Amino acid sequence: MDTLSYKTISANKATVQKDWVVIDAENQVLGRLASQAAKIIRGKNKANFTPNVDCGDNVIIINAEKIKLTGKKMTDKVYVRHTGYPGGQRFRTPREMMSKNPAFILEHAIKGMLPKSRLGSRLFTNLYVYAGEKHPHASQQPKEVKLEY
């Protein structure tokens, strides 16, 4: 028997089927929503998942301003950045970030769950986060996704 009865099929850019999905973030917990969205962006929910190919869907997240954080994280968690100058370390809480840019918190969480490589940078471009109900991607006919965790 020199032939296999099965073949491992690897997806590539030409054979991958990319869809558009909408996730409503209203009253969702940040980390749980982010991990599910990262799985969909990566393509791990598909049967033909290939680790080195962008085979995930385009994800639109609406109502990012209505996301929830458990416990006292809204005031106690700290986002740290550095200006690049000596003594330039800056700190912000999620509450301050929500008032300035509500989409940043979700983008930051999801980006941290994607690969740290050129593929991860490419995958991050498949994410679209909007603070309100409206999004400009109606022509792509996205499917509504209900997350269960």
pTM, whole model, 2 decimals? 0.91
pLDDT tens figures, 15-24: 999 999 999 9
Q: Which CATH number fits domain 20-144: 3.40.190.120, 3.30.70.260, 3.90.1180.10, 3.40.50.2300?
A: 3.90.1180.10
pLDDT tens figures, 125-140: 999 999 999 999 999 9
pLDDT tens figures, 54-107: 999 999 999 999 999 999 999 999 999 999 999 999 999 999 999 999 999 999
**The predicted structure's pLDDT at residue 4:** 75
pLDDT tens figures, 21-41: 999 999 999 999 999 999 999
DSSP code per residue over the chain: --S-S--PPPP-TTT----EEEEE-TT-BHHHHHHHHHHHHHTTTSTT--TTS----EEEEE-GGG-B--TTHHHH--EEEE-SSTT-EEEE-HHHHHHH-HHHHHHHHHHTTS-SSHHHHHHHTTEEE-SSS--S-GGG-PEEE----
